[in-house]
Structure 1
Amino acid sequence: MSKRKTLMILLSLGMMLTACSQTESPSGTKGPNSGSTTPTTETPAAEPVKLTVAGMPKYPPNQVPNDYIKAVEEKFNMDWDYEAIPLSAGMEKYNVMFASGQYPDFIPNMNSPSSVAKWASAGYLLPIGDYIDQLPTYRSLFTDEDWEVLLSFASTNGKLYMLPNVASSDPMTWIYRKDAFAEIGLDTFPATLDELHETLKALKVKYPQSVGIGVRGGTENTGIRNLMNGFRQSFRNPRNDYTKGFWNDPDQGGAVVWNMASDKHREMLIFLAQLYKEGLIEKEFATLTQEQWKTKRLTGSVLLDFQYSSHTIDPEYALTDIPGGEWEYARTLPRAGDEPALEFSPVKFALFGPIFSNKLADQPAKLAKLFEYIEFAASPEGQLFHQMGIKDVTYTQENGVIAYADGYDRQKVAEQHGFDWMIKQSEDVLKSDPMFLKKQEALQEVSGIYNLTPKSAPFTEEEQQTMNTTVSAMEDIAYQFATRAVMGIADPSDDAQWSKYLDDLAKVGMAQAQTIAESYLKE
């Protein structure tokens, strides 16, 4: 690092911390530079509160301590004994720390909800939910409704042991070439699958080189998974990832079913096979790479796709070589029958965030300092501090636009200075990001498609292992059968073939997975 950059960092940190010392105290009194001329007797500075801290950064810092740690220590009069154990290192070291009793006071960014549940059940963690009234700034980040959903997902044995981060969703819906639809006389997306079928045929006539429905490819079963997205909802058979595909089907009186073992799934495969036979689905959906899919989209072969709404303005997918080419997103999902499509609402949180040692219950001074820090991190000032780092060093602010300084991005700021966002990304930063604004717009515009609240299933560690192994085997069978069915190699309308498919699922333990899921979901 150059001497000039080092000097700028020191000056910036000094100015930042000086500003902090001049702010009003919680009681409303002024700091030492308030302008008072009354002689005072200096009170000896309080000793820093010592804390052991383990960080789980996405991008490990190059050195410890770093500018982030120094700034936090100075601002809150803390002394952190800090160790970075990155996400890429796995959970083994954390498990050893807790099992040995040598675990830290505080982990600001734990990203393993199953581990949190295990440690909470073992008594290692502070039930932070019992203290939530002392964290009003953090609590205000969620509506009462969202908070109730958060508690259902994040609690262990009825208690909250983690402070989940705020999540920003990018809603998935059908995106389509608005200019191509206009050429065949359409200005809105089809309301039913029959109408979609007719639209696809009309587009094929107008654009014979098009592939019909584009499918984002990738490794293993990515193609068939992405193809079924959008159609599952239309057939009222959406997937709840939080419960491994098990859900309460309202059309079966709330019975717990696995979405890829239902009659609705069978009907969907029959419909997709018909589209594929007519050349209305990307022929290479099962083997297409993501790069090949992107090339087809950019060159005009893909006219509609079930994707993230932000793709409509993402520069990576801009139709610069197609005059008049324009992407739009659908505000509704087409229905297969008379009833509307079903889709789960996106949750407003992510199950990673700060956790606290149970030892802090008897150490009020430490706990008070950490609560002060969390409240700061949840504030707009704290969000900017964590996400962007040091003004005029790691980021600039000009005409209301906050951006990384030249030579910096999220990873470099984290590695070189230790800063990365926690609890919530800064809206002051995001408000000038067109893609973020598109996501926010789309969440409002497509809100009508969300008519189901996802349920959680807080599996025990043993249940989680069983579900992971069993459902993985079930999915391998289901995706292979679905791929063959869509391509016409298997016939889902044939009772014998469908029965064999269900038998194959049973052989790898579907009944056991069903029993575990029902223990949490059965109404």
Structure 2
Amino acid sequence: MVRKFSIILAIVFMVFMTACTNKSSVDSKDGTNTESAGKNDGFLASKKPVEKTIFLHYNDGGVIFDDDWPTFKQAAKETNVTLKGVAPKTSTNSTEAFNLMIASGSIPDFVMDKKENLNKYGMEGAFLPLEDLIKKYAPHIQKYLDDMPEIMKISQASDGHLYYMPFIADGVAAEGWYIRKDWLDKLGLQVPQTVDEFHDVLKAFKEKDPNGNGKQDEVPFFTRINNRIFDLASLWGGFGDFHLDGDQVKYGPYEKEFGTAMENLAQWYKEGLIDPEIFTRGGNSRDVLLGNNTGGATHDWFGSTANYNTTLKDQIPGINFVPFAPPAAPNGKRVEPTRRSPFNNFTGVAIGYKTKDPVVAIKYLDYFFTKEGRRLMNYGVEGDTYNMVDGKPVLAQKVLSSSDIPGALRAVGAQIMFAYQQDFDYEKQWTNDIALKGEDEYAKNDYFIKELPALNFTQEEEKVNNDIGPQIQTYTDEMMQRWIMGAEPVDFEKYKKHLEELGIKDFIKVHEDAYKRYLNN
């Protein structure tokens, strides 16, 4: 089946390349701009109403384009372009859905997906290069490219072309450390400042009955997602992915600090300081452990985590779950392993090579980089999900009263992964003061790890990543779980040697080479 799939892809992309022999520029000779609107037509992308297709399918079916989304119906009124979704609504595997679409050779007018896929198949002819189209017909996008040169550095493919317009995130702080301050007060303890103090606090939570029910049922540290165990590793300077140490590229799980972290976490788990079900409890752990008054500390998103003080105030009188600064590692450094960056989602929207009128297509995308289009994608339709108050968009009460505010906006087509810039003010409207204070503290003190920027890889480098990366990730995850749960003692040298057998040095080298190109770009 793999061989057959490869043959199909080869035939499909021969067709792509034939159809796109002059893909580096688009002009009237290509049959474009036959019905596109002019400079004086406002936001219209086309003089006549047109329908274009879109593939938008992510989070394994959690978000699939809906033809009835009010946000995109409003965009159709403004631009004269109506979108029709073609992603399979029954599919629960976004990667599989994308691959099947590509293999079919029937590329829609617009495709939303991850950067690596859009660039890979863009270079093979599936998607149009956008830079010339943008320069000629998309002034609002061009302004973004001029004002944010990082867009090109991060988004363009290794052949120098820009094949998609990205989703641009907003904000600085993403996640932080949270602790039950009401439990600290009851036990006469202070907010921990170091990893050793954090250990002692968690031990007290385990042994001294801070929830007052006479049982030793407290779960000192818990987390929602398995790989968040890497967050705990940062307390000893261990990290779960690539990052920068100065200008040196480092892969966290290959560094000695990672081994030190695993030894300590195995001990914490043995002492009962870490949720015994940390690898199996799943995404509702916050709801369960905070809801039954047994959870003591976690590391998670600021906004949603602080909201438990409101949602549980009647159920657990006095609950005070607050953010605190990252506990200092043994080297004295406080490091937060997550942060927001404008392009940390690495997704966007490409234009398919078969689109009838690329000028209409790029003008349509340009609308979402206007003030009005950006507001539409962030807040939805005025009078429905938001209202203008003193010149600013304010979310409607029906949205603010929802238990899942981002979900309520996604239900109308706003706040989805598309091509536009997010507005962090939308989140501030439903983030309580506790979370905002925590976010401000993290940003003011710049606790964040120095991230490796989103890199562009050559096809050869991408092959190394695809061949080696998953093996390394699988092996690391497996060993991390075995070590922490005590299935075998931590032998970091043995683990490191196996990483080298898997090709870790080649894996690191392609990232070093790509980072050098990034610096020289």
- State the TM-score, normalizing by the size of structure 2: 0.70
Task: Read off the aligned partner of 2:372 and give its amino acid letter.
Answer: E
Partners of 1:174 and 1:410 in 2: CA distance: 22
Q: 1:214 aligns with which of 203, 221, 242?
A: 221
Identify the residue that residue 296 of structure 2 maps to in structure 1. Answer: 303
* SS of residue in 1 equivalent to 2:269: helix
Structure 1 residues 342 and 327: CA distance shift in structure 2, 3 A: closer
Contact 1:247 1:521 in 2 (8 A): no
Task: Read off the aligned partner of 1:402 and give its amino acid letter.
Answer: A
* SS of residue in 1 equivalent to 2:396: strand
Identify the residue that residue 155 of structure 1 maps to in structure 2. Answer: 156
Contact 2:270 2:485 in 1 (8 A): yes
Contact 2:72 2:83 in 1 (8 A): no
* Structure 1 position 475 matched with structure 2 position 473: yes
Within 5 Å, give how 1:322-361 maps onto structure 2: 322-341=316-335, 343=337, 345-349=339-343, 350-356=345-351
Identify the residue that residue 5 of structure 2 maps to in structure 1. Answer: none
Q: 1:505 aligns with which of 490, 499, 507?
A: 499
Contact 1:174 1:230 in 2 (8 A): no
Contact 1:377 1:383 in 2 (8 A): yes
Partners of 2:370 and 2:312 in 1: CA distance: 35
Q: 2:431 aligns with which of 430, 434, 438?
A: 434
Structure 1 residues 428 and 317: CA distance shift in structure 2, 3 A: closer
Q: 2:442 aligns with which of 418, 427, 446?
A: 446
Within 5 Å, give how 1:270-289 maps onto structure 2: 270-289=263-282
Within 5 Å, give how 1:445-464 maps onto structure 2: 445-447=441-443, 448-460=446-458, 463-464=461-462
Partners of 1:81 and 1:281 in 2: CA distance: 48
Cα drift, residue 307 of structure 1: 1.5
* SS of residue in 2 equivalent to 1:514: helix
Partners of 2:197 and 2:425 in 1: CA distance: 42
* SS of residue in 2 equivalent to 1:163: strand
Identify the residue that residue 179 of structure 1 maps to in structure 2. Answer: 182
Task: Read off the aligned partner of 2:348 and give its amino acid letter.
Answer: G
Cα drift, residue 271 of structure 1: 1.8
Contact 1:294 1:317 in 2 (8 A): no
Contact 1:397 1:403 in 2 (8 A): no
Task: Read off the aligned partner of 1:373 and give its amino acid letter.
Answer: Y
Contact 1:388 1:404 in 2 (8 A): no
Contact 1:173 1:333 in 2 (8 A): no
Q: How many residues align?
A: 447
Question: 1:298-322 CA distances to partner (integer Å, 9 max, x unpaired)?
Answer: 2222211111112011479635432
Cα drift, residue 454 of structure 1: 2.2
Contact 1:211 1:280 in 2 (8 A): no
Q: Which runs of 5+ in 1 are unaligned?
A: 1-24, 30-45, 240-244
Identify the residue that residue 256 of structure 2 maps to in structure 1. Answer: 263
Cα drift, residue 267 of structure 1: 0.9
Question: 1:62-84 CA distances to partner (integer Å, 9 max, x unpaired)?
Answer: 67xx8777654553345x68452
Partners of 2:271 and 2:155 in 1: CA distance: 46
Identify the residue that residue 235 of structure 1 maps to in structure 2. Answer: 236
Partners of 1:199 and 1:288 in 2: CA distance: 23
Partners of 1:327 and 1:357 in 2: CA distance: 48
Q: 1:318 aligns with which of 285, 297, 312?
A: 312
Structure 1 residues 348 and 294: CA distance shift in structure 2, 3 A: same
Cα drift, residue 174 of structure 1: 0.8
Q: 2:373 aligns with which of 358, 374, 382?
A: 382
Task: Read off the aligned partner of 1:235 and give its amino acid letter.
Answer: W
Question: 1:88-134 CA distances to partner (integer Å, 9 max, x unpaired)?
Answer: 4712354246x5xx645x41x51132221123323554443453696
Q: 1:294 aligns with which of 287, 294, 306?
A: 287
Question: 1:441-476 CA distances to partner (integer Å, 9 max, x unpaired)?
Answer: 544321211251323333356654553453333233
Identify the residue that residue 35 of structure 1 maps to in structure 2. Answer: none
* SS of residue in 1 equivalent to 2:64: coil
Q: Which runs of 5+ in 2 are unaligned?
A: 1-37, 58-62, 211-215
Identify the residue that residue 92 of structure 1 maps to in structure 2. Answer: 99
Cα drift, residue 165 of structure 1: 1.2
Task: Read off the aligned partner of 2:183 and give its amino acid letter.
Answer: A
Cα drift, residue 139 of structure 1: 6.3
Structure 1 residues 440 and 199: CA distance shift in structure 2, 3 A: closer
Q: 1:113 aligns with which of 91, 112, 115?
A: 115
Partners of 1:143 and 1:431 in 2: CA distance: 28
Structure 1 residues 211 and 483: CA distance shift in structure 2, 3 A: farther
Task: Read off the aligned partner of 1:156 and give its amino acid letter.
Answer: A
Contact 1:210 1:302 in 2 (8 A): no
Cα drift, residue 269 of structure 1: 1.5
Q: 2:64 aligns with which of 46, 59, 62?
A: 59
Question: 1:277-307 CA distances to partner (integer Å, 9 max, x unpaired)?
Answer: 3332223334434445632222222211111
Question: 1:7-60 CA distances to partner (integer Å, 9 max, x unpaired)?
Answer: xxxxxxxxxxxxxxxxxx97799xxxxxxxxxxxxxxxx952757443425334
Partners of 1:323 and 1:411 in 2: CA distance: 28
Q: Percent identity?
A: 18
Partners of 1:150 and 1:438 in 2: CA distance: 33
* SS of residue in 1 equivalent to 2:259: helix
Cα drift, residue 262 of structure 1: 1.9
Structure 1 residues 135 and 329: CA distance shift in structure 2, 3 A: farther
Task: Read off the aligned partner of 1:434 and give its amino acid letter.
Answer: T
Partners of 1:319 and 1:67 in 2: CA distance: 35
Partners of 1:156 and 1:338 in 2: CA distance: 40
Contact 1:212 1:282 in 2 (8 A): yes
Structure 1 residues 391 and 47: CA distance shift in structure 2, 3 A: closer
Task: Read off the aligned partner of 1:180 and give its amino acid letter.
Answer: W
Cα drift, residue 327 of structure 1: 0.9
Partners of 1:387 and 1:83 in 2: CA distance: 20
* SS of residue in 2 equivalent to 1:303: strand
Partners of 2:150 and 2:368 in 1: CA distance: 22
* SS of residue in 2 equivalent to 1:111: strand
Cα drift, residue 162 of structure 1: 1.5
Cα drift, residue 480 of structure 1: 3.0
Partners of 1:81 and 1:288 in 2: CA distance: 40
Cα drift, residue 354 of structure 1: 2.8
Structure 1 residues 290 and 214: CA distance shift in structure 2, 3 A: farther
Contact 1:171 1:439 in 2 (8 A): no
* Structure 1 position 520 matched with structure 2 position 514: yes
Partners of 2:291 and 2:425 in 1: CA distance: 32
CA-atom RMSD in angstroms: 4.3
* SS of residue in 2 equivalent to 1:470: helix
Structure 1 residues 271 and 328: CA distance shift in structure 2, 3 A: same
* SS of residue in 2 equivalent to 1:56: strand
* SS of residue in 2 equivalent to 1:329: strand
Structure 1 residues 54 and 410: CA distance shift in structure 2, 3 A: same
Within 5 Å, give how 1:37-76 maps onto structure 2: 48=48, 52-56=52-56, 58-61=63-66, 72-76=75-79
* SS of residue in 2 equivalent to 1:354: strand
Partners of 2:405 and 2:439 in 1: CA distance: 27
Partners of 2:67 and 2:395 in 1: CA distance: 28
